[in-house]
Structure 1
Amino acid sequence: MAETYTATLDRIVDGETAVLLLEDDGETIEQLDVDVGQLPQDGQHEGAVFSVTVDGETLSEAAYLPDVTQSRKAAAQERLDRLSTKLSDRE
């Protein structure tokens, strides 16, 4: 039975294998390793977010979500900026 998840591209190993972290309700629930060629080319970078359909342990569809990717990147940068500001205030 096919299931749909949000997935984040954690890393690409040896230029061939994409390591996707599947999410459910914002929590990472599983890792799925796929051939990087199965992913849309514009999303073949670390941190890219996809909507994926998985049938068993096989990726059957992947759609790149550029807006979600950018939003998560911006949120992470804001957290880092806040942390670095708080650390510099301590000195």
Structure 2
Amino acid sequence: MTEIPDDRYDAVVDRIEEGLATLELDGDEDRYELVIDEASLPEAGQHEGAVYEIAVEDDRLVDARYDEEATEERSEAAQERFDRLSERPPNDDEE
């Protein structure tokens, strides 16, 4: 597994399985994955797609702040993309 440099990151909960949360972290040039105990996250953000500002030291989560506003914005943007993709393109006969 790739070592995660000590730093602050924006992170998103990618998935939660069997009590373990997998966070995707965006670094300056690299992306990282951090697996932690789901219970170490604030309860309001214990779901897929939750956005956090976190701090990592020695490959461990040392601080996690749930960003409810960023989570809602991310969810709305994903829904808008889905809605656009699910629209049928016009048929030549429908013009």
Q: Which has the higher strand share?
A: 1
TM range (shorter): 0.7 to 0.9
Distance 2:70 2:80 in 1: 15
Offset of 1:56 from its aligned partner? 2.0
Q: Could you tell me which of 4, 9, 13 is aligned with 1:5?
A: 9
Offset of 1:28 from its aligned partner? 6.4
Paired letter, 2:84: R
Percent of aligned pairs with the same amino acid: 41
Point out where structure 1 has 5 or more consecutive residues left out of the alignment: none
* Cα distance per residue 1:52-77 (max 9 Å; x no partner): 00002100010000000000110111
Point out where structure 2 has 5 or more consecutive residues left out of the alignment: none
- Runs ≥4 in structure 1, deviation > 4 angstroms? none
TM-score, with length taken from structure 1 = 0.87
Alignment length, in residue pairs? 87
- Max Rg structure: 2
TM-score, with length taken from structure 2 = 0.83
